Structure 1
């Protein structure tokens, strides 16, 4: 687990599909860009859903259209997960993957960092570390981050990166759009990313660039702001090669997590109820955690296992 480099001078950042090979692994190419005169790819391991950034020159490469790439990798957990998300694209709220199938009882924790004037709710991270450090370290957590939040909270972001650097937590960074616009008046079908005039390419790619400039590694997951989307928007996101991830347990709404749940709380200081509920849930599981009967799962592994061998 190495620290992600900061790419400060990103140019020509764009969607690019293809096959890349560096013995013994086949990778799927999702993006290409230049930084300080060197050419880079964002690569995906379609078996494990892990991403990485690497120099283009290290790989044997075959450019492909999105259709060719998805067909080439059709038997992988990645492609099965994308297909599942597209099949669940009709509902206006909570399209995408809502749960995985972990080995034991446990959950995947996702915390959303939407734009907020309040500071990061650090209790989530200190409490999960303290609760799990004897049985699971680093503790996996997935954070849905917006471009605006990163811009407004550099110290909080640095604090999270330090926790990761110390191997206390391991973060999967989920793209949560750049602006996360929301209207208190507009109906859902014209709200969040469905707001007329939204530039979806900007919302997706500028967030990835902001992650890279801040030393974060973008994952292959995307979470819709407000969990609001329509079928057309879901397909726009999967055209970027990203897997929409929903939730079946938004704690602040009173939804109870089951085995394999993808749990949603807000870590941006705007939802203390959900955070309090999660901390109570942790406290109620102390004995199960100690016996390794209730664990936090890496979102990638949880989704990956769901689609292995299908």
Structure 2
């Protein structure tokens, strides 16, 4: 590498990172956009394209690691493709294999999608849902994570399934989470949990949550992503159905947005026990303290194993990548 090129990279890299994490306050023309983006030596899969303050941006996913990022279009060689062409190009990647696996689980009315990671992992992938709520964030969850793992796994990973209405109405809680992230206390995967997260206490499952007649799926998905970006969050490649409720048609609608549905095999508040490799579900929005209590008890029972690095938390992207990247 030439000295001039090295200096150029040193100068531009901080700006590159800043652009990827900035608050995009003037988003226009936000749309689904599939294709291939190349910046030597990396190939990226394009999911979205939008404009902000006169600049053109892409939401990209690494098809091998499932990590996402946002950056200006001008940094890449870009080729637009159809959904079918894009999936064919990245056919043998962890990303495409995970989407295929989720679609095969699409017949389930509840808990469709990826339910667990590798069973050989000594630990779990922790996911917490932030559905609309009038209650404050249950901070005990995050404080316990940091306390238990600060010496062996920092930042501790967690996937937060965030709804648009929760973000809109809990800005102080969101800022607190971002502060923990920026301090390196926790590492957050931001999962799309729909915008409105409507639910009926009386409607049958086949007409409830996102299956409610008249639901605008395009708004539920894209409005949530735009609000994430406006708040300095990078949307992940994952989607969690409200109530874990879907049908086959809805699963295919979500995968058509390039998103991987994530379920759970251990919803703690429902009495489901966490096993090695489990994708654990609790609610951190204050509405389900029982689930948080169960998780705190689980942590206390694993104190020795945690200290000996024999039981850890696993990043959702990493565990799905390891499961489907073979």
TM-score (norm 2): 0.94
The structure-2 alpha-carbon separation of the partners of 1:102 and 1:163, relative to structure 1 and needing over 3 Å to count, comes to farther
Please name the residue that 1:214 is paired with. Answer: 231
Please name the residue that 1:240 is paired with. Answer: 257
2:155 matches 1:138: yes
Structure 1 residue 102, shift from structure 2 partner: 6.5
Match of 1:88 among 79, 96, 105: 105
**Runs of 5+ in structure 2 lacking a partner?**
1-13
Which whole-Å CA distance do the structure 1 matches of 2:148 and 2:265 have between them? 23
Dislocated runs of 4+, deviation >2 Å: none
Please name the residue that 2:216 is paired with. Answer: 199
Secondary structure of the structure 2 residue equivalent to 1:292? coil
Match of 2:320 among 290, 303, 307: 303
Which whole-Å CA distance do the structure 2 matches of 1:20 and 1:252 have between them? 42
2:53 matches 1:36: yes
Please name the residue that 1:260 is paired with. Answer: 277
2:171 matches 1:154: yes
Which whole-Å CA distance do the structure 2 matches of 1:140 and 1:308 have between them? 20
Q: How does 1:105-184 map to 2 (within 5 A)?
A: 105-184=122-201
Structure 1 residue 104, shift from structure 2 partner: 3.3
Deviation digits for residues 154-206 of structure 1 (CA, Å, limit 9, x no counterpart): 00000000000000000000000000000001000000000000000000000
Answer with 1 or 2: which has the greater Rg.
2
Given that 1:223 and 1:245 are in contact with CA atoms closer than 8 Å, whether structure 2 keeps it comes out as: yes
Secondary structure of the structure 2 residue equivalent to 1:137? coil
Which whole-Å CA distance do the structure 1 matches of 2:202 and 2:120 have between them? 43
Which whole-Å CA distance do the structure 2 matches of 1:5 and 1:301 have between them? 24
Please name the residue that 2:8 is paired with. Answer: none
Structure 1 residue 247, shift from structure 2 partner: 0.1
Please name the residue that 1:56 is paired with. Answer: 73
Please name the residue that 1:278 is paired with. Answer: 295
When the two structures are aligned, how many residues end up with a matched partner? 309
Structure 1 residue 44, shift from structure 2 partner: 0.5
Deviation digits for residues 49-94 of structure 1 (CA, Å, limit 9, x no counterpart): 0000010011011110000000000000000000000000001000
2:116 matches 1:99: yes
Given that 1:102 and 1:305 are in contact with CA atoms closer than 8 Å, whether structure 2 keeps it comes out as: no
2:92 matches 1:75: yes
Deviation digits for residues 68-126 of structure 1 (CA, Å, limit 9, x no counterpart): 00000000000000000000000100000001117631000000000000000000000
Given that 1:104 and 1:293 are in contact with CA atoms closer than 8 Å, whether structure 2 keeps it comes out as: no
2:187 matches 1:185: no
Secondary structure of the structure 2 residue equivalent to 1:180? coil
Secondary structure of the structure 2 residue equivalent to 1:270? coil
Please name the residue that 1:19 is paired with. Answer: 36
The structure-2 alpha-carbon separation of the partners of 1:27 and 1:102, relative to structure 1 and needing over 3 Å to count, comes to farther
